[in-house]
Structure 1
Amino acid sequence: MKYNITVFLSLIFILFSCQNDNQKRIAENKKEIKKREIIFKNIEKRWVFYDTPITEASEKSIATWNELRMFLAELAQKPKKTIGAFQQKSKALSKKAMALNENIPLEFNKPQIKSRISTLITKVRLLDLFIHLDNIPDKKVTQLVAEINLELVSLQRQMDKIVEKSKIPVEEGESDLLKMMDTARAIPSTPIPNTPIDPNLPRVE
């Protein structure tokens, strides 16, 4: 009889323990779902990119610079509904950003443009990395969105500077001065063979 009571009490204890574990698990799941919803809302709210050209130079360049046009078009399409959609979008943006290094128009194929493209690519790839983490740091993701926008502005303003500089007319004699400063075109300092040496020139013994 005592044995039966002991077994019965043990079963009740096990049932209560299982019930408590289930309640804890349900509470944790609800907490995790709520946390993911907050992360999603924060990212969705601040996922706003400068997807249209802000300078005359960039506006004209998208007609010929296909990679820049496609990157801006990708930025313009905002994901919806799930965090998975934002993850897919960040992956697509990373690919489009990497392509900016290809087919840069000759006018903009300069170190100051390339350095800005490189920084922009780094920021976009970091965005892709952080948004794919199991525990998504939403503050870091939204910060990177803002930084990408700043890099886009910097790139387009630099493009504008290059265009404006190209419009400035070259002053008389400036082109000759630039040629003289070009070391590749410099006159060699070694004497030309078979030329008579002036005996009056000082010599180093």
Structure 2
Amino acid sequence: MKYRIALFLLLIFVLQSCQNENEKRLAENAKEAKKKEKIFNNINKGWTFIDEPINEVSEENIKNWAEWRDFLKEIGDKPRKTIGAFQKKSAAISKKAMALNNNIPTQFNQPQIKSRISILITKIKMLDLFIHLNTIPDDKVVFLIQEINKELISLERQMDKIVEKAKIPKEQGEEDFLRMLDTTRAIPNSSAPQVPIQPTDQNAPRVE
């Protein structure tokens, strides 16, 4: 009889322990789900890229520069519903950003533009890295989106400056002056009189 009572009490203890473990697990799952929901909401709220051209030059590039057009289209297509969707979108944006190094229009194929593209790519890669971590630092993700927008504005303004500068007419003689400064393109002055070299007379008297 005592054995049965002890076995019964042991069974109750085991069932109680299992119930407590289940409750603890459910509480932890609920806490984790709430945390993920907060991260998702923060990222969803902060995921706003400047996908519209800020000037006519950038708008014109959409027509003539396929990589620029594809990039703006990619960042303008906002993901929905899950963190996984944002992770896929981040990877796609990173790929499109890398392609900006290809087929840069001739007038923009300059160090000022290339350096800004490089900075833009770096920050997009950081965004892609952070959003794929097991514990996503949502504040850093939102901050990087803001930084990426700043780099986009800087890049488009630099494009505009290059175009505006090209419109300024050069003063007369300025191009010749610039060519003179370029020593690699210097051309000997053929108009200068040439002093003929007199042949040496072997029979002429020598002065000792």
Unaligned runs of 5+ in 1: 189-193, 197-205
1:125 deviates by 1.2
Alignment deviations for residues 47-75 of structure 1 (CA, whole Å, 9 cap, x no partner) = 11100100121111111100000100111
SS of equivalent residue, structure 2 residue 63: coil
**1:182 maps to 2:182:** yes
1:15 deviates by 1.4
The aligned counterpart of 2:206 is none
The aligned counterpart of 1:146 is 146
Unaligned runs of 5+ in 2: 189-194, 198-208
Moved >6 Å (runs of 4+): none
1:12 deviates by 1.7
With normalisation by structure 2, the TM-score equals 0.87
Q: Name the larger-Rg structure.
A: 2
**1:65 maps to 2:65:** yes
Mapped to 2, the partners of 1:105 and 1:195 lie a distance apart of 51
Alignment deviations for residues 119-168 of structure 1 (CA, whole Å, 9 cap, x no partner) = 11111111111111111110011011101100000000000000011001
Question: Do the aligned partners of residues 195 and 185 (structure 1) sit closer, same or farther apart at CA in structure 2, a change above 3 Å counting?
Answer: farther
**1:123 maps to 2:128:** no
The aligned counterpart of 2:90 is 90
Mapped to 2, the partners of 1:139 and 1:164 lie a distance apart of 38
Mapped to 2, the partners of 1:195 and 1:40 lie a distance apart of 86
The aligned counterpart of 1:33 is 33
Mapped to 1, the partners of 2:176 and 2:106 lie a distance apart of 23
SS of equivalent residue, structure 2 residue 64: coil
SS of equivalent residue, structure 1 residue 94: helix
Mapped to 2, the partners of 1:61 and 1:5 lie a distance apart of 85
Alignment deviations for residues 93-144 of structure 1 (CA, whole Å, 9 cap, x no partner) = 0110010000000010001100000111111111111111111110011011
The aligned counterpart of 2:202 is none
Counterpart amino acid of residue 75 in structure 2: L
RMSD: 1.8
The aligned counterpart of 1:135 is 135
SS of equivalent residue, structure 1 residue 62: helix
User: What is the correspondence of 1:103-122 to structure 2 with a 5 Å cutoff?
Assistant: 103-122=103-122
1:4 deviates by 3.0
Same amino acid, percent of matched pairs: 66
Mapped to 1, the partners of 2:179 and 2:187 lie a distance apart of 11
Mapped to 2, the partners of 1:182 and 1:99 lie a distance apart of 33
1:16 deviates by 1.2
The aligned counterpart of 2:204 is none
Q: Structure 1 stretch 83-92 or stretch 104-113: which is displaced more?
A: 83-92
